[in-house]
Amino acid sequence: MSFSIKDRFADFSKPWCWKQLPVYSLVILAFISSKGESAPSTTYPQYSESACLLIAGQITRFQQQPHLPSYQDAVKNYRRHCQNPVPQQPQKYFAITPPEAVTTPSAKPELVTPTLTSRTVVPPQAIPSVFGSLWQMLIWLLPILFIIWLFRILLQTPWGMSRSEYLGFIAERQLARLLSSKLSYNYWHYHNVILKTAQGDLTEVDHLLVSPFGIFVIEVKNYQGWIFGGQHHANWVVQHYSRKHQFPSPLRQNYKHTEAVAYFFDIDNTVKTEKIYSIIAFSNRAEFKTAMPDNVLHIEDVPRYIEKISAFGRRIGDESLLRYRSRLNLLMPQAEELRKQHKLQLQGQELLWDLNQRTGKTS
């Protein structure tokens, strides 16, 4: 009995066809499953046995955490590529081949006379000792190190200095390093600052520290020997062995510096002593032989003395502190010209000092 698809769908409108619908569904599902089973199961390339063992080990390791991508990828690879693992054959790394028979014409064997290889025996005296080679290296190394040291000194030392000026330069550098390493960031350090006084002349401040705790004016003296002096002495004495000479009182000299700082910052005389502090710093080569004020000390003691004064608390406000620093920064472009004028002024003062010493007068 023949029928078309159209007729078959037309028969679905009949009531008896709906009763047979589950039967048709089961037949269709069985047909689809049979088609799926008939398809070959090994459509993916198969891995070797060793690779499948590694994948199986990974599945075992992560089986307690099936949500991990590592576990899911391992299961998927094992199902696809390890259904029929490829057996792995051991490889022969060295193939043993029988030697080929070489046919050569018959010839008489030649007799080879053995020769003795001459061995040169080096005497122990010819071998240089370890200490000898090190000594030779040291001989060549010492001049090089000396040249490097001398070159460094020349770079760090300004040209045209006398011995006393050079020693003063070394002392000021030592103090600058101590101030930068011992004090905190609340201290702004200026050195070799040339200021105009109220009288119109120039004076040079070796070290100037501006901080909320006060303004510290430091005078550095690099004398060697015994120091004799006092707060009310116009001239002090330095004695080194049998040599002895006088020099102006550093307290009076630095008092002039503090006056110039107060004039430059426009600080009133009524509060000057509460904001500006004078410090005299001698090198460690000096030894005090008379009683000195508290602000006369050695270079290494300067940071401790400043911290002692700073412990009393803040004395300068932020607005005044900013104004002082701004004035110093504006003064920097004029430093070279002021230094030339100050040098000429010092030469005139030295001539006057020598003249007073010869005539027996004191200033």
What is the β-pairing status of strands 214-221 and 276-282?
parallel
Rounded Cα–Cα distance for residues 285 and 271 (Å): 36
> Hey, what are 173's tokens?
């550098």
Residue 338 to residues 1, 195, 203, 263, Cα–Cα distance (Å):
128, 8, 10, 17
Which residues lie closer than 8 Å to 176 by C-beta, 6 or more apart?
189, 191, 207
Which residues lie closer than 8 Å to 156 by C-beta, 6 or more apart?
none
Nearest CA to 44 out of 9, 4, 84 is that of 84
pLDDT > 70 fraction of the chain, expressed in percent and rounded: 71
Domain-wise residue ranges, the chain: 44-86, 163-359
Nearest-10 crossing angle of helices 302-310, 163-182: 40
Question: Which of 21-25, 125-129, 286-290: highest mean pLDDT?
Answer: 286-290
Residue 3 has a pLDDT of 39
The SS3 assignment for 105 reads: coil
Rounded Cα–Cα distance for residues 188 and 252 (Å): 25
Rounded Cα–Cα distance for residues 296 and 280 (Å): 5
Q: Is 237 exposed, middle or buried (0-12, 13-18, 19+ CB in 10 A)?
A: middle
Rounded Cα–Cα distance for residues 281 and 258 (Å): 15
Q: What is the pLDDT of residues 286-335, one digit of tens each?
A: 999 999 999 999 999 999 999 999 999 888 999 999 999 999 999 988 88
pLDDT > 90 fraction of the chain, expressed in percent and rounded: 34
Q: Is the pLDDT of residue 132 over 60?
A: yes
Q: Is the pLDDT of residue 51 over 60?
A: yes
Question: Which of 49-58, 102-111, 275-284: highest mean pLDDT?
Answer: 275-284
Q: With cut-offs at 50, 70 and 90, classify the pLDDT of residue 44.
A: confident
Q: What is the pLDDT of residues 73-124, one digit of tens each?
A: 888 888 888 888 888 665 554 455 555 555 555 555 555 555 555 555 555 5
- Mean pLDDT along residues 38-63: 76
Q: How far apart are the first and last CA of the chain?
A: 149
The pTM assigned to this predicted structure is 0.54
Residue 102 to residues 95, 317, 357, Cα–Cα distance (Å):
20, 108, 118
Residue 49 has a pLDDT of 83
**What residues pair up with 211 in beta bridges, in sequence order?**
214
Q: Is the pLDDT of residue 38 over 80?
A: no
Task: Decide: 185 and 165 in contact? Cβ < 8 Å.
Answer: no
Around Cβ 44, how many Cβ atoms within 10 Å?
Answer: 12
Residue 163 has a pLDDT of 64
Q: What is the pLDDT of residues 192-228, one digit of tens each?
A: 999 999 998 899 999 999 999 999 999 999 999 999 9
The count of residues in the chain is 363
